[in-house]
Amino acid sequence: MYSGWNQAGGAAATTAAAIAVREVSHAFPAAGGEPVLALDGVSFEVPRGQFLALVGASGCGKTTILNMAAGLVRPLAGEVRVAGQRVCEPRRDTGYMFARDGLLPWRCAQDNVEVGLEIRGVPARERSRRALQLLELVGLAGFARALPRQLSQGMRQRVAIARTLAIDPSTLLMDEPFAALDAQTREILQEELLGLMQRPDERKTVVFITHSIDEAILLGDRVAVMTPRPGRIKEMLDMPFGWPRDVNAVRADPHFAELRNHIWNGLRPARLDAAAAFAAAGE
């Protein structure tokens, strides 16, 4: 039985929190009906340099939380703060990455990585230096001039990682960034992301959404488990694996299987509800 390392709810007030989500509720208008309550009183904090993995059933409001932290959606109630400031619009210190790589098809890998730097008016030489450095970091040194259609899905996602890192964000919001990848490429990119997180000078504050429980445990300092819609934080779990983190060592650790079962069981009612609703709809 999983014994629980720390299930404090994650709302311990720290002034150093890089991201603070406080009592956030949100509803979306529904066509011709009652508004859909997507989030209901969500609170958590992410200290600077920490990696928070967020798991929960489809539709529980994970992306909505990230959109709020990115300044794309305003909460109906409560607030989201980044670096102590209430988020009202997109911030320069925040990078956002999705499952779709969103690369511009007419631009080569290097030019895609440079997009954010161009918008910020960084001079061409500096842009080029930084883009090539980042492409090397993500294992694409020889592909600077390749167009997205000449790259595999995994390579394109690497370009997207480099593009997100190019603006040197202190906060990284990642919405299922590896969901579209095959299992093997996904594991490779997980290890690469861990490698990036291991560099003390590069350590970012990260909120990472995933449907993979293994991925959440492997990458997270903490894992937040959400309830089905309306989303609330059901549990905030400290991962007992330190840094530097070795993927194989974590997988072999007995705590890994315990945590996996624990989180899986925590999400179980949502899965069963979804299955029952599907079955009922078919009757």
Ligand X SMILES: Nc1ncnc2c1ncn2[C@@H]1O[C@H](COP(=O)(O)OP(=O)(O)OP(=O)(O)O)[C@@H](O)[C@H]1O
Is 20 in contact with 45 (CB distance < 8 Å)?
yes
3-state helix, strand, coil in the chain (%, to 5): 40, 20, 35
Across the chain, how many H-helices and E-strands are there? 8, 10
Residues 227-266 contacting ligand X, CB under 6 A: 229
H helix or E strand, kind and range, residue 62:
helix 62-69
> Residue 162's binding partner, choosing from Mg ion, ligand X, none, with beta-carbon cut-off 5 to 8 A by kind?
none
Asked if 171 interacts with Mg ion (CB under 5 A), we say no
Residue number with the smallest Cβ distance to Mg ion: 63
Euclidean distance between CA atoms 178 and 189, whole angstroms? 8
User: Which of 11, 36, 167, 196: binder of ligand X (CB under 6 A)?
Assistant: 36
> What x/- string results for residues 39 through 58 when contact with ligand X is judged by CB under 6 A?
-----------------x-x
Contacting range for Mg ion; rule: CB under 5 A; set: 38-46, 56-64, 212-220, 251-259:
56-64
Question: Six-digit token pair at 282?
Answer: 């078919």
SS3 60: coil
Contacting range for Mg ion; rule: CB under 5 A; set: 27-35, 57-65, 117-125, 234-242:
57-65
User: HSE of 15 in the Cβ direction (CA atoms, 13 Å)?
Assistant: 0
The pairing of strands 171-175 and 17-28 is unpaired
User: Which of 5, 28, 243, 264: binder of ligand X (CB under 6 A)?
Assistant: 28
> Residue 60's binding partner, choosing from ligand X, Mg ion, none, with beta-carbon cut-off 5 to 8 A by kind?
ligand X
Residues 58-97 contacting ligand X, CB under 6 A: 58-64
User: Which of 63, 110, 164, 190: binder of Mg ion (CB under 5 A)?
Assistant: 63
Looking at the Cβ atoms of 132 and 224, the one nearer to ligand X is 224
SS3 79: strand
Question: Six-digit token pair at 143?
Answer: 């592909």
Looking at the Cβ atoms of 63 and 157, the one nearer to Mg ion is 63
Q: Where does this chain bind ligand X (CB under 6 A)?
A: 28, 36, 38, 56, 58-64, 229
